[in-house]
Structure 1
Amino acid sequence: MMPVRGNHRPEIRVRDGPFLSLSGTPTDSMVDDFVKFSRGLTSLPGGIYDGDLGDQPMSGLVPMVVEQTTRGERAYDIFSRLLKERIVFIGTPINDQIANLTVAQLLYLASESSEKPINLYINSPGGVIYSGLGVYDTMQYIGAPVSTICVGLAASMGSVLLAAGEDDSRACLPNSRVMIHQPMGGAEGQASDIEIQAEEIMWLKERLYEILALHTGQDIDQIEADADRNYWMSAEEAEEYGLVDNVLNPDNLEGLKSIQPNGEAADDSEDDA
């Protein structure tokens, strides 16, 4: 990457997928881009929240799970309950906040056990490259194996994370869609600054292609040709391409125990501790 001299930090806009990043800070244009992209994928007009990013009614959308213990009832939000089962869920565009939350969960689960698999479920249209690479590096760094499962959509940076799972533990549900493409972005400023930014985005493109080649077994030239434009794949095509190892149809679920939830529900003695 290009070094930053002194206190000058050139403005870099890099996008991998529909979510535009300006120094990792959400803007109205970012939300508009994501809304347009998501509406383009579905015919349901109410399929995506289209208000301000900071006003999304997330608290009203996250259900609570109530468990009975010897001390009474214990309530969890659904994602905390899934975390007990070593399940991490990425269901939004990938930005700095989502990446930080995902990294924190991966590090926590790895500290709990470096042997039990972690199951990363992905339903994401992509996002900020730098944020996604932070999640990718954490997946490769921790000792615990990370299984990846696509539920719905793994596009752009989401497809990179899908491919980065443990060998023989990457899967798609039957109607999932997977998409790879080259990074998208823009630059502004003086000519020398634009040149620096162009070199940076070209470096990112080459690095992403190297990562995809490493995890898919495809030749880099083939990936570069395919990713020149949006390259959509069905679950079966993603398996053939090497992005995943299995398609989770009902008739082969039994043979894929390695990517099923492996955490055991806590017993009463654990709840009382």
Structure 2
Amino acid sequence: MKDPRFDYMPLAAREYSAQRQMTVGDLLLDNRIIFLDGPIHDGSANLVIMKLLFLQSENRHQDIHLYINSPGGSVTATLAIYDIMQFIECDVATYCVGLSASGGAILVAGGAAGKRFALKHSKIMIHQPYGQVGGQVSDIEIQARDILAARQLLNEILASHTKQPVEKIAKDTQRDHYLTAQEAKAYGLVDEILDRTPGDKKK
């Protein structure tokens, strides 16, 4: 319920009160910053997608900054975010913070060309998708085909953004493949390594 005293506050006081009610996430969003942390699942993906669409509706020509510190998760949820990143008109600059693994690596690599960053001590991990199969033989066959198709698709996405051959991606992702920020840049997963905010001058 709205506080009735709010209508009688001076403008500066009302603005201060409104700011006090904003969360850190709201303040970041106000600066066109989205932070994806933790596992990627339908809930977290939907929240990121809503924020991306909202920021595009606010300004179709200004960059969105997506910070990622995630171990990955659902392939379908990852691809949902990825597809929206490619679909919207705004450039999405991506930042690897801490560890961006599996689906997190896909999203970092899927940022706008020239605007994919890794923090100095961050790491990226790429691998083939995990999957569990069970049930009748016919169900197992269907699930296995789906996992193989997902693996091929993710390899092709990584290849398109890194300019690495699909065959190399397939080989490198047979096992968990960890890369430092420097290695990720050489691999083509990111464009630059940051140790301060872009545009800041060292004091």
SS at match of 1:168: coil
**Partner of 1:82 in structure 2?**
28
Which residue identity is paired with 2:127?
H
1:201 to 147, 158, 162: 147
**Partner of 1:26 in structure 2?**
none
SS at match of 1:167: coil
Give the TM-score taking structure 2 as reference length.
0.89
Aligned residues: 188
1:73 offset after TM fit, Å? 2.4
Per-residue CA deviation, residues 177-197 of structure 1 (Å, 9 max, x unaligned), is: 100000111111110110011
Give the TM-score taking structure 1 as reference length.
0.67
**Partner of 1:4 in structure 2?**
none
1:255 offset after TM fit, Å? 8.1
The aligned runs of 1:146-165 (5 Å cut-off) are 146-165=92-111
Relative to structure 1, the CA distance from residue 108 to residue 253 in structure 2 (aligned partners, 3 Å threshold; closer, same or farther) is closer
Q: Which has the higher contact order (CA 8 A, sep 6+)?
A: 1
Task: Return the structure number with greater helix share.
Answer: 2
Q: Which runs of 5+ in 2 are unaligned?
A: 1-10
Provide the C-alpha distance between the structure 2 equivalents of 1:99 and 1:69, rounded to a whole number of angstroms: 36
Provide the C-alpha distance between the structure 2 equivalents of 1:69 and 1:126, rounded to a whole number of angstroms: 43
Which residue identity is paired with 2:114?
D
Q: Which runs of 5+ in 1 are unaligned?
A: 1-67, 257-273
**Partner of 1:73 in structure 2?**
17
**Partner of 1:166 in structure 2?**
112
1:147 offset after TM fit, Å? 0.2
1:70 offset after TM fit, Å? 5.0
1:245 offset after TM fit, Å? 0.1
Provide the C-alpha distance between the structure 2 equivalents of 1:132 and 1:144, rounded to a whole number of angstroms: 19
Provide the C-alpha distance between the structure 2 equivalents of 1:226 and 1:147, rounded to a whole number of angstroms: 25
Per-residue CA deviation, residues 111-165 of structure 1 (Å, 9 max, x unaligned), is: 1111000000000000100000000000000011100001111000000000000
SS at match of 2:178: strand
SS at match of 1:186: coil
SS at match of 2:131: strand
1:69 offset after TM fit, Å? 3.6
Relative to structure 1, the CA distance from residue 187 to residue 158 in structure 2 (aligned partners, 3 Å threshold; closer, same or farther) is same
**Partner of 1:218 in structure 2?**
164
The aligned runs of 1:1-273 (5 Å cut-off) are 69=12, 71=14, 72-74=16-18, 75=20, 76-250=22-196, 253-254=198-199
SS at match of 2:94: strand
Provide the C-alpha distance between the structure 1 equivalents of 2:56 and 2:12, rounded to a whole number of angstroms: 26
Provide the C-alpha distance between the structure 1 equivalents of 2:195 and 2:47, rounded to a whole number of angstroms: 30
Provide the C-alpha distance between the structure 1 equivalents of 2:82 and 2:114, rounded to a whole number of angstroms: 17
Provide the C-alpha distance between the structure 2 equivalents of 1:119 and 1:183, rounded to a whole number of angstroms: 26
Which residue identity is paired with 1:77?
T
Moved more, 103-112 or 73-82: 73-82
